[in-house]
């Protein structure tokens, strides 16, 4: 296998230099203003496909160029400064189905876009980060609009994502939440933000999601192995966060939102400013959150579950005819309490509860500071597009056990990445994508840190891939392969690991008039991380002593994923079974030993494991009741070794139902919609050796979305989670073993106001 990998790497190097030559050439052309295409003004017309009438005031977004323009009162639109050729656009107009089309632009022709009128949006349009339709994608892509006003408000971003079928969350209390996709989390789930892979010591149970909702427009989730385009470690799946788009061309807008949450007396405040001129676009966001200890049923609070966080985000984009560049910077600082900390061998639940709600700084706590910076480039050549992202992420983590100013654990993770992709349109129906990704991360402990969990180390990844996409009438086919190498070295040369992985993906989608059928086989690999290999110490956030295993082998997985979706005028149904076969599955196993009054967990692995289940959903919208939506989804996953022994930390089966009522009103103060959500979590009695069963529970949630004003309204959202104040503990809660309940009734109130777009002089 290593012989074939070396051959593949040789080919990748040749491709790398060819792409590098094209990149430098394109860069010079961009700076010199040399262009082989006509820069004249081009445009089009938007019409109703049923009666040929013109559609006014539509929004047209050019995906790859990060540019949004609007049509006039006659449905006409114009754009300049982009090359002649095919462009992928999203068209949005009130009362019409959102359209995703490839349109051809030329100065001598007019692009006519036809929209389909609808009385509701049932078949939700989902766009992947490459700008493709969900219904045209080989791989199942789930998407969630973070700012959708019709959703029931969530306290955190991790809680919002857990609304997606097949996606759950684990963590500690409210402040630390991380996603679980089909039973896998941590190092098995990759997080991207606008093309930048984020690293934040995600192997730790107490290391939560590294981003907040600030400036995020949507999140897209690939469930199951997705190593082909996203690299090593994507065994469980990929989270791809997409920022809010830039403002419409030649406009300036400002928005402000504020939220109050009752369970923890929490406040969230965010400010956003968007500016877009002819070629320059700027987005700026700032936010501050502050939460006290959260309340559980019975009126008590969970001691030290408080947290506060400050975040900022800046994006600057510049557009030329054949070149688009975006510079992005994200900042995060948070102090997060770690509840449930104890040295008692037989802990008492009451010792973790308090009758005095507090938000003052306390210990134990985790202090996190993140800096993410990236430069995204897109170069448009004839029948080709080159994407190049360069970035750096820096995660500084401190854990305080008993002292406010002197942390016990100090860790810094610095990661430099590149992501190079070359898209080639070989024929009208045949497309090739070649690419390479790599990263070099350095993990360092603080010089004065009294405790060391993992040694200083350096990890280097390099990978190359290629795939082909072919369209044949109603069928779309994909096939591709990828090779990766990971090298791990410790500073003291006590450990040197070299890991190879070869992955593939193949599948098809059939797009029928009323049905969509998908089938995909994909593989993935994950090399053990430094924590699993070399840890030997107390991890305070996880409340355990961890011992690594330097002999761990590479995890490998193959998933078979199929889906059938039925799309009717007033009814949609989808069923998505999956089977994930894994070799060398790694997990922490609880031993009978105790060190320094902490339970000992040893990293081990089983030769084979299998995870299988189904995600299903339906949406019914009666034609004679336009105001009513009935939605339901079902998710489950079973995980076991080949002897039938259950694997630990597998989420409960979940049933999620929602009734949405749209209320049409033209009064100054109005209620836009009402949401009633009922969730049922089944009993989890398929448990690992060190686990206990979890009882079933149900939650009733309510959401009310209102507006004040007609022309530019103030938006008001009111939601109540756990309305019945049920006492429950989720199976994936890190506080389950201590008997600490999840939050009781939580009331969220959010107000958001956007100053009307100001037109700038052109």
pLDDT tens digits for range 372-428: 999 999 998 888 899 999 999 999 999 888 888 888 889 999 999 999 999 999 998
Pairing of strands 598-620, 544-547: parallel
How far apart CA 563 and CA 628 sit, in angstroms, is 26
Q: Give the residue extent of every domain in the chain.
A: 35-118, 135-759
Whole-angstrom Cα Rg for the chain: 26
| CB-based contact 419:388 (threshold 8 Å) | yes
CATH of domain 135-759: 2.40.170.20
pLDDT digits (tens, 9 = 90+) for 490-509: 877 678 889 998 999 999 99
| pLDDT over threshold 70, residue 206 | yes
Mean pLDDT is lowest, of 243-252, 342-351, 560-569, for 342-351
Number of other residues whose CB lies within 10 A of the CB of residue 373? 16
Tokens 């049933």 correspond to 655
Q: How distant is the alpha carbon of residue 191 from its chain centre? A: 6
pTM for the complete prediction?
0.86
CATH of domain 35-118: 2.60.40.1120
Mean pLDDT is lowest, of 26-30, 88-92, 304-308, 309-313, for 26-30
What is the reported pLDDT for 593? 81
69-83, 277-291, 532-546 — which one is most confidently predicted on average?
277-291
What is the reported pLDDT for 95? 72
| pLDDT over threshold 90, residue 73 | no
Residue 150 pairs with which residues in a beta bridge? Answer: none
Give me the mean pLDDT over the 325-339 stretch: 94
Confidence of residue 130 (pLDDT cuts 50, 70, 90): low
Percent of residues, the chain, with pLDDT higher than 90: 43
More confident residue, 294 or 250: 294
Residues ≥6 apart with Cβ < 8 Å to 350: none
Output DSSP code: residue 305. Answer: -
CA angle at 627 for the pair 623 and 633, rounded to the nearest 5°: 80
| pLDDT over threshold 80, residue 120 | no
Percent of residues, the chain, with pLDDT higher than 70: 90
What is the reported pLDDT for 311? 96
Output DSSP code: residue 184. Answer: B
More confident residue, 35 or 164: 164
| pLDDT over threshold 50, residue 27 | no
Mean pLDDT is lowest, of 9-23, 59-73, 130-144, 152-166, for 9-23
Instruction: Report CA torsion sign: 165, 171, 177, 179.
Output: negative
| CB-based contact 468:442 (threshold 8 Å) | no
Q: Order of strands, edge to edge, in the sheet holding 85-92?
A: 67-70, 59-62, 85-92, 99-105
Confidence of residue 38 (pLDDT cuts 50, 70, 90): very low
What is the reported pLDDT for 428? 86
Q: How far is CA 208 from CA 185, 335, 409, 614, in A?
A: 11, 12, 17, 26
| pLDDT over threshold 90, residue 449 | no
| pLDDT over threshold 60, residue 159 | yes
pLDDT digits (tens, 9 = 90+) for 352-362: 999 999 999 88
What is the reported pLDDT for 690? 75
Do the domains spanning 35-118 and 135-759 agree at the CATH topology level? Answer: no
Give me the mean pLDDT over the 666-670 stretch: 89
47-51, 281-285, 408-412, 605-609 — which one is most confidently predicted on average?
281-285
| pLDDT over threshold 80, residue 346 | no
Confidence of residue 454 (pLDDT cuts 50, 70, 90): confident
pLDDT digits (tens, 9 = 90+) for 527-552: 888 888 888 877 665 677 888 898 99
């Amino acid at each position: 296998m290593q012989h074939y990998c070396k051959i593949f790497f040789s080919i990748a190097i040749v491709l790398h230099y060819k792409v590098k030559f094209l990149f430098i050439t394109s860069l010079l052309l961009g700076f010199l203003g040399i262009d082989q295409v006509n820069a004249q003004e081009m445009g089009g017309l938007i019409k109703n496909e049923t009666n040929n009438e013109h559609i006014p005031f539509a929004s047209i977004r050019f995906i790859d160029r990060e540019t949004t323009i609007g049509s006039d009162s006659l449905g006409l639109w114009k754009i300049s400064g982009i090359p002649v050729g095919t462009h992928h656009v999203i068209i949005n107009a009130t009362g019409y189905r959102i359209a995703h089309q490839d349109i051809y632009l030329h100065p001598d022709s007019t692009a006519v876009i036809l929209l389909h009128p609808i009385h509701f949006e049932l078949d939700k349009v989902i766009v992947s980060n490459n700008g493709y339709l969900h219904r045209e994608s080989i791989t199942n892509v789930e998407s969630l609009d973070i700012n959708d006003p019709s959703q029931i408000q969530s306290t955190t971003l991790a809680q919002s994502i857990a609304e997606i079928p097949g996606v759950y969350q684990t963590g500690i209390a409210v402040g630390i939440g991380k996603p679980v996709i089909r039973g896998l989390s941590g190092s098995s789930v990759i997080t991207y933000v606008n093309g930048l892979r984020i690293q934040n010591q995600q192997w730790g149970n107490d290391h939560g999601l590294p981003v907040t909702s600030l400036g995020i427009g949507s999140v897209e989730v690939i469930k199951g192995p997705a190593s082909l385009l996203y690299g090593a470690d994507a065994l469980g799946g990929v989270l791809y966060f997409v920022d809010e788009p830039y403002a419409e061309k030649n406009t300036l807008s400002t928005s402000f939102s504020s939220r109050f949450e009752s369970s923890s007396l929490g406040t969230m405040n965010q400010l956003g400013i968007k500016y877009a001129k002819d070629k320059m676009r700027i987005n700026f966001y700032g936010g501050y959150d502050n939460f006290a200890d959260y309340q559980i049923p019975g009126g008590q609070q969970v001691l030290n579950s408080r947290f506060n966080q400050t975040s900022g985000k800046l994006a600057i984009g510049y557009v030329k005819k054949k070149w688009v560049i975006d510079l992005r910077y994200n900042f995060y600082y948070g102090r997060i309490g770690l509840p449930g900390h104890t040295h008692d061998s037989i802990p008492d639940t009451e010792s973790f509860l308090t009758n005095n709600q507090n938000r003052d700084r306390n210990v134990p706590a985790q202090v996190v500071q993140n800096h993410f910076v990236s430069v995204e480039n897109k170069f448009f050549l004839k029948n080709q597009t080159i994407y190049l992202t360069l970035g750096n992420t820096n995660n500084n983590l401190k854990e305080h056990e008993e002292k406010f100013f002197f942390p016990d654990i100090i860790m810094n993770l610095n990661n430099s990445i590149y992501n190079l992709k070359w898209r080639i349109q070989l024929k009208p129906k045949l497309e090739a994508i070649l690419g390479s990704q790599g990263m070099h991360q350095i993990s360092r402990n603080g010089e004065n840190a009294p405790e060391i969990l993992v040694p200083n180390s350096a990890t280097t990844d390099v990978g190359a891939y290629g795939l082909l996409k072919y369209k044949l009438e109603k069928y779309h086919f994909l096939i591709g392969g990828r090779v990766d190498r990971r090298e791990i070295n410790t500073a003291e040369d006590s450990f040197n690991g070299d890991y190879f992985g070869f992955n593939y993906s193949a599948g098809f989608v059939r797009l029928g008039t009323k049905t969509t059928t998908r089938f995909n086989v994909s593989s993935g690999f994950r090399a053990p991380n430094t924590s699993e290999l070399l840890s030997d110490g107390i991890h305070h956030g996880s409340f355990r002593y961890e011992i690594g295993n330097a002999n761990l082998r590479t995890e490998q997985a193959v998933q078979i994923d199929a889906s059938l979706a039925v799309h009717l005028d007033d009814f949609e149904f989808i069923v998505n079974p999956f089977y994930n076969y894994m070799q060398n599955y790694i997990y922490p196993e609880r031993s009978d030993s105790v060190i320094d009054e902490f339970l000992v967990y040893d990293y081990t692995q089983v030769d084979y494991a299998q995870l299988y289940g189904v995600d299903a959903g339906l949406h019914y919208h009666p034609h004679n009741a336009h105001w009513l939506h009935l939605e339901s989804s079902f998710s489950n996953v079973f995980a076991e070794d080949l002897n039938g022994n259950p694997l630990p930390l597998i989420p409960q089966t979940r049933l999620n139902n929602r009734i949405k009522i749209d209320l049409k009103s033209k009064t100054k103060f109005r209620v836009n919609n009402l949401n009633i959500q009922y969730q049922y979590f089944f009993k989890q009695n398929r448990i690992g050796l060190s686990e206990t069963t979890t009882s079933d529970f149900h939650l009733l949630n309510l959401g009310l979305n209102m507006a004040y004003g007609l022309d530019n309204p103030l938006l008001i959202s009111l939601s109540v989670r756990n309305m019945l104040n049920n006492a429950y503990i989720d199976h994936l809660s890190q506080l389950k073993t201590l008997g600490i309940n999840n939050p009781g009734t939580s009331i969220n109130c959010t107000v958001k106001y956007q100053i009307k777009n100001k037109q700038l002089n052109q």
